[in-house]
Chain A
Amino acid sequence: QITLKESGPTLVKPTQTLTLTCTFSGFSLSTSGVGVGWIRQPPGKALEWLALIYWDDDKRYSPSLKSRLTITKDTSKNQVVLTMTNMDPVDTATYYCAQARVYYDSSGLNRWFDPWGQGTLVTVSS
């Protein structure tokens, strides 16, 4: 069974740096085709894709947030860490991590994100 869980501060001040950790089990981030992504959702708003790190340490970021984001992995600890600098109240959101998969089958290349963690609400306020 694959599970993921997000952890980190629930409250951060404007201009501070947010550090979130995704701790997972049931898979290894050293397995080909596996990745972990981060997604956020402001209260009452849509999902926003943030970043993704693959088994081979390839990293991808949302172009609009790339300058503020850093994603890293610790394969031995089964953890992925996302840092976001210069936090602002508009960054208040539930932050999710999810397993990403990339693989070939008879129909071609496939990509998906599942399962997801339960999410963690981060509030940015002074």
Chain B
Amino acid sequence: QTVVTQEPSLTVSPGGTVTLTCASSTGAVTSGYYPNWFQQKPGQAPRALIYSTSNKHSWTPARFSGSLLGGKAALTLSGVQPEDEAEYYCLLYYGGAYVFGTGTKVTVL
């Protein structure tokens, strides 16, 4: 069974920068996995932030960016705002099916 692993939790100061990563148990993550990133706040449905590695939706704040980093998909938050405190999930494509990551809780402190 394929496992997609993220950092369980990260803490960042307001205005700071934090990078979340998304690793696949099958090996290096490439653009062919079409990495997606989602933000979920308590009691809410997830909202898409990034698709196909680095593309932003029209509503995605400029401080969010996606990339590939060291064989993993990565989401970088630059100039973090208090409202960025949330759970973040990556989603990878495996030739038909998809698998979500384990999620990263980002705390802004």
Q: Is the CB of B100 within 8 A of A112?
A: no
Name the residue among A49, A62, A64, A108 with the largest chain B CB count within 10 angstroms: A49
Q: Is the CB of A63 within 8 A of B1?
A: yes
Q: Is the CB of A109 within 8 A of B52?
A: yes
The listed residue (A37, A47, A60) touching B96 by CB distance below 8 A is A60
Range class of the B interface residue count: 20 to 34
Q: Mark B94-109, 1 if CB is under 8 A from A, else 0.
A: 0011111111000000
Q: Is the CB of A107 within 8 A of B97?
A: no
Q: Is the CB of A108 within 8 A of B97?
A: no
Q: Is the CB of B48 within 8 A of A49?
A: no
A contact patch SS:
strand
The listed residue (B40, B52, B97) touching A49 by CB distance below 8 A is B97
Q: How far is the CA of A110 from the CA of B93 in the complex (A)?
A: 11
Q: Is the CB of A49 within 8 A of B99?
A: yes
Measured between beta carbons, the chain B residues less than 8 angstroms from A115 are 47-48
Chain B's closest residue to A110 (CB) is: B52
Binding site for B on A (CB under 8 A): 37, 39, 46-49, 52, 60-64, 96, 107-119
Please give me the 7 A-B residue pairs with the lowest Cβ-Cβ distance, nearest first.
Answer: A114-B48, A112-B51, A116-B45, A47-B100, A49-B98, A111-B34, A110-B52
